[in-house]
Amino acid sequence: MKYQTTIADRIELDGIGVHSGNPVSITITPADPDTGIVFQRSDLDELTDLPATVDYVGATDLCTVLGNPAHVCVKTIEHLMAAFSAMEIDNAIVEVDDSELPVMDGSSLHFIEAFDQVGLIKQARKRRYIKVKKPIRVAMGASWAEFTPYDGRRFEVEIDFDAPIIGRQSYKNDLTPSTFRDELSGARTFGFMKDVEGLWAAGYALGSSLDNSVVIGDDNTIVNPEGLRYEDEFVRHKTLDAVGDLALSGLQILGCYRSYRGGHKMNAMAVEALLKDKDAYEIVTADDTPIVQDQAGASVSISAAVLAPERL
């Protein structure tokens, strides 16, 4: 689809926050062209826009947090962002009545189903893309990630865990609405039983359960009675996370994204490195027309400065 897209009608979803354990409701409404994805906290007196762009990314330790310097924040946005980006939805307002999005079943499945129910509408403005022009690589310890030029949106994600039940897994494919729907959208978040107590003590994962996470027990088996949805569900979930984290660039990225032992932090670092290097990308429309970035109204929010404090 070459034109910007929004949802055709409002969506309401309820659930719990995986870290807070609190009940939370979200309302997603259609938005005008060039709005992007904007989060709002409907439980606060003052309505503040939190655009889903790198400028607003705060902590990335356990989940991705959007926040502003006034400490208004929304946590755990990555699975919804992945669904928007993969289904090529450019514009929407997401109202949240708490500080964290509902975790649903730990994947993007419920968001995709909700989009299917209301349908999408094409808008009267062309979509813009970030086109990768040269390789950009970031590394941290044994982990690395890189963007390279590619005609499309491609993900090559590899993980390597000591836990034998996960081990080394890789997922490589072009990202399209149908590959995301069929291969990635149902892949759930996962965690280790041995980490749970520490997370609880730190005030995280309070809403975490077998309904929204794949849990690996101390005996290296899957605790969930239903088992895995895909044999390599772990790397598929890591790919889903990467799709969501790259969406914080504000536009679809035309290029190949490769990561080895990556995560939210590595994904955010790679996006920041790409956007910081003006020779590494250009903003184009679907028919490949470059857009001059300093033309009024033509550029997206691409400053890589992280305004929000690390912890919100």
Pick 129 or 257: Cβ nearer Zn ion: 257
Q: Which residues are known to be catalytic?
A: 264
Q: Is 289 exposed, middle or buried (0-12, 13-18, 19+ CB in 10 A)?
A: exposed
Answer yes or no: are the C-beta atoms of 216 and 241 closer than 8 Å: no
C-alpha dist (Å) from residue 37 to 29, 40, 89, 189, 239: 10, 10, 9, 23, 20
CA dihedral over 249, 34, 121, 25, signed as positive or negative: positive
Q: Output the smallest distance, CB 295 to Zn ion, in A.
A: 37
Q: Report the 10 Å Cβ neighbour count for 273.
A: 17
Specify the residue, 49 or 113, whose C-beta has the smaller distance to Zn ion.
113
How far is the C-alpha of 40 from the C-alpha of 104, rounded, in Å? Answer: 19
Member of 68, 189, 252, 259 binding Zn ion (CB under 5 A): 189
Name the minimum Å distance from CB 118 to Zn ion. 24
Near Zn ion by CB under 5 A, which window of 122-130, 148-156, 181-189, 267-275? Answer: 181-189
For Zn ion, the closer of residues 31 and 80 by Cβ is: 80
- With CB under 5 A as the contact rule, which of the stretches 54-62, 184-192, 200-208, 296-304 interacts with Zn ion? 184-192
Q: Is residue 85 a contact residue for Zn ion (CB under 5 A)?
A: no
Q: How far is the CB of 66 from Zn ion (least distance, A)?
A: 15
Nearer to Zn ion, 127 or 264 (CB): 264
CB of 7 to Zn ion, least distance (A): 22
| Shortest distance (Å) from residue 103 CB to Zn ion | 9
Nearest approach, Cβ of residue 188 and Zn ion (Å) = 8
Q: Which is nearer to Zn ion, 83 or 300 (CB)?
A: 83
Residues 240-259 touching Zn ion, rule: CB under 5 A, are: 241
Element (H or E) spanning 145, and its range? strand 143-148
CA distance 116 to 119: 5
- Crossing angle of helices 233-246 and 78-86, in 10° steps, is 80
Q: How many other CB atoms sit within 10 Å of the CB of residue 224?
A: 18
- Nearest Cα neighbor of 234 from 159, 176, 162, 183 is 159
Question: If binding means CB under 5 A, how many residues of this protein chain bind Zn ion?
Answer: 2
Q: Which helix (H) or strand (E) holds 199?
A: helix 193-201
Piece in contact with Zn ion (CB under 5 A), picked from 186-194, 225-233, 268-276, 280-288: 186-194
Name the β-bridge partners of 168: 160
Q: Which CB atom, from 90 or from 245, has the smaller least distance to Zn ion?
A: 245
Binding to Zn ion in span 205-244, by CB under 5 A: 241
Residues that bind Zn ion (CB under 5 A): 189, 241
